[in-house]
Structure 1
């Protein structure tokens, strides 16, 4: 489960958690605008780590991941030290740093696990269509209509992610092909 670190998510104990760095980058941008130099370093770190993971086809070796973790720890340690000496105490920035320290494993899960993306932007984009549909139409008249809409959007998103022609694939699905067979065809 990739999320923004909202306080209730850890209560979902049967899920493996990862933090969404799109949310972190937005927060870091705000800290940069307030003059926090550590936020620039963390932004650079996150974007470089993302590039490194992509260059290694989705996951780093354990040795390489540990090296990135050490840099992460050093940036946070220096940031925390600097923030704790400031008057007045920048509570929001300090809370952000402490959250990244406390949830380090979740924050850096994308370094080691191929199936864990850097952010959950695709999921948010997929869900946004439900809201757009609701805003245009007012609401779904029945729950089954909402369910059908979500299933259709999920299929379209999956086809797009697998770089399949959506129209041709939907035609195949409507003639009785299964999604697994459609995805396995070239």
Structure 2
């Protein structure tokens, strides 16, 4: 499973299922909404974003309630709102007369073409709807570079990344950092 933004090189991983990051697309949809005519009563991007957020809430509520399923009618309604909004956005920007229209059209086209990849988290609840956790893992490396100016050697950078990766994976499996390091040192990983 690959959870990522829609950067094209990730699509070269053909053996993996893809979950496109809902947090990234929500920011893109917000930009479309911000650029919309302030006099307009409705914006396709707002409807698509609201539907995505509603589906995330449905999944989170079901997980918290230890439910086995989500009401298919409610989920279907939200997926329909998402799809119809993207279809309207695609139609409204089909002229692609300006750079902004081209960008908005490409977004609407991606929402339609990759709908299964954006909504995969609704079918398999083990899949997160965004890649924020992965980006938080990278953030520590960037912070260390900012504070110290750099990672002094390539060997040190590799060691730091290996330890961070191990601890991040352990945390995701519910194992505490110290316990994980002890297990690693004792060869019981």
Aligned to 2:161: 150
Q: CA deviation at 1:139?
A: 3.2
Aligned-partner SS, 1:90: helix
**Is this contact kept in 2: 1:61–1:112, CA < 8 A?**
no
60 and 23 in structure 1: CA distance in 2 versus 1, 3 angstrom threshold: farther
* Counterpart for residue 132 of structure 1: 143
In 1, the alpha carbon distance for the partners of 2:20 and 2:184 equals 37
TM-score if structure 2 supplies the norm length? 0.79
Q: Provide the residue aligned with 2:114 in structure 1.
A: 103
Q: Which residue in the other structure is 2:40 paired with?
A: none
> In the superposition, relative to structure 1, how do residues 142 and 85 fare at CA in structure 2: closer, same or farther (>3 Å)?
closer
Partner of 2:93: 83
Contact 1:60 1:111 (C-alpha < 8 Å) held by counterparts = no
Instruction: Provide the TM-score with structure 1 as the length reference.
Output: 0.80
CA distance in 2, matches of 1:91, 1:83: 7
Pair 1:94-2:105 in alignment: yes
Q: Show structure 1 runs of 5+ residues with no match.
A: 180-186
Are 1:176 and 2:186 matched, yes or no?
Answer: yes
- Write out aligned runs for 1:63-82 (5 A): 63=72, 65-82=75-92
CA contact (8 A) 2:121 2:128 kept: yes
Q: 2:46 aligns with which of 32, 40, 44?
A: 40
> After superposition, what is the alpha-carbon deviation per residue over 1:14-55, rounded to whole angstroms, capped at 9, x for unaligned?
221110011111111211111261111112111111000111
